[in-house]
Chain A
Amino acid sequence: MTNEVDEYLEARIQRLLTEDATIAEQGITVQRREQIVVLGGEVESAQRRDEICRQINTHFPDVEIACDIGIVRAQAPTEVEEIS
């Protein structure tokens, strides 16, 4: 099987992101470009981002991956919203 960047590959990557116990992320976006797959979204730690990229590269070694996943900031808020 070749790893062409098609919609079936995108679906396989999305399922891996959610169903692989080492990842379990539902908030990662997968964008197919001409010769590359771009992963986006945010996760809770750098370890999780690195593990996602490692797993995708392991499972799909012929696919070029750009890992644009960020880490969600966790600073204290500075404003309050009044609800009315």
Chain B
Amino acid sequence: MIRIAAVGDVHVDKDVLGRYRPALEQLPEVADALLIAGDLTRHGTVEEATSFVTEFGELAVPVVVVLGNHDHQSDQQDEVAAVLTDAGITVLEGTSVVLDLHGHRLGIAGAKGFGGGFAGASASNFGEREMKNFVGTTVRIADQLGATLRATECDALVALTHYSPVPETLVGEPLEIYPFLGSYLLAQAIDSAPTALALHGHAHHGSERGRTAGGVPVRNVAHPVIKQAFNVYQLLSEDVDSGLVRA
């Protein structure tokens, strides 16, 4: 059995310091790792990344993250990632990590992802250079995510993105902005590997649960959606156990 904690869109700055910490201190008792689905900061500055490390660093479980669109706002995403990495946090972008958790190998492949929309209402790699750049970015990210997922050898495989791979977890958002919230290409990548669970954020007004066309469970863990410090998911269960994690 593996238990993973997950949240996204925590948007840390100095004013948030201390809000998550009491819950995070309980992590070792309830989960084996913490995954964060992007938008770690408000504007993607080094200063905010440092605040994020203060709040989410030095935990007793491994922390694995992807960046979100907010973390790119100041064009300092590389510096932000370096601050996180220096603090022992694993930052994924088209890459994966395998954690050995009491005898089980948890593989996590991550990428920020990007938009484009979903089957039947998606943007095409056609026309103006700006449009081709937009869709081409998603194609490149999704291709890399798929290749990384397929190459990750583990007992349980998790896909971690910021943007959504399915429309079901966007329900609650205006339909008109779905193409800015995710892309079916991410789901296609997720379905190309034996993925056990896909986690994403970004859609603050979305819904918690969905599935890809290939049947992979998808969870939107954006903080305003889950309305608690993190959710806990159990994989590789020996027995069905949906009881209390901790009173």
Contact = CB atoms under 8 A, between A and B. Distances in A.
A44 B23 contact: no
B227 A73 contact: yes
B233 A78 contact: no
Contact of A75 (B196, B228, B242): B228
Nearest to A24: B42
B229 A82 contact: no
Contacts of B15: 44-45, 47-48
B224 A79 contact: no
Contacts of A84: 237
A78 B205 contact: no
A1 interface: no
Contacts of B70: 24
B26 A74 contact: no
Contact of A81 (B9, B20, B228, B231): B231
Given A41-B205, A45-B15, A72-B227, A80 B232 contact: yes
A44 B228 contact: no
B3 interface: yes
B204 A27 contact: yes
Given A76-B22, A76-B26, A83 B233 contact: yes
B224 A41 contact: yes
Contact of A44 (B19, B73, B245): B19
A42 interface: yes
B121 interface: no
Contact of A72 (B13, B223, B233): B223
A41 B240 contact: no
B234 interface: yes
B231 A82 contact: no
Interface in A31-63: 41-42, 44-45, 47-48
24 contacts: A24-B43, A24-B73, A26-B204, A27-B224, A42-B204, A45-B15, A45-B16, A47-B15, A74-B20, A74-B228, A75-B228, A75-B229, A76-B30, A77-B230, A77-B245, A78-B244, A78-B247, A79-B244, A80-B3, A80-B243, A81-B232, A82-B234, A82-B242, A83-B217
Interface of B: 3, 9-13, 15-16, 19-20, 22-23, 26, 30, 42-43, 70, 73, 196-197, 204-205, 217, 223-224, 227-235, 237, 240-247
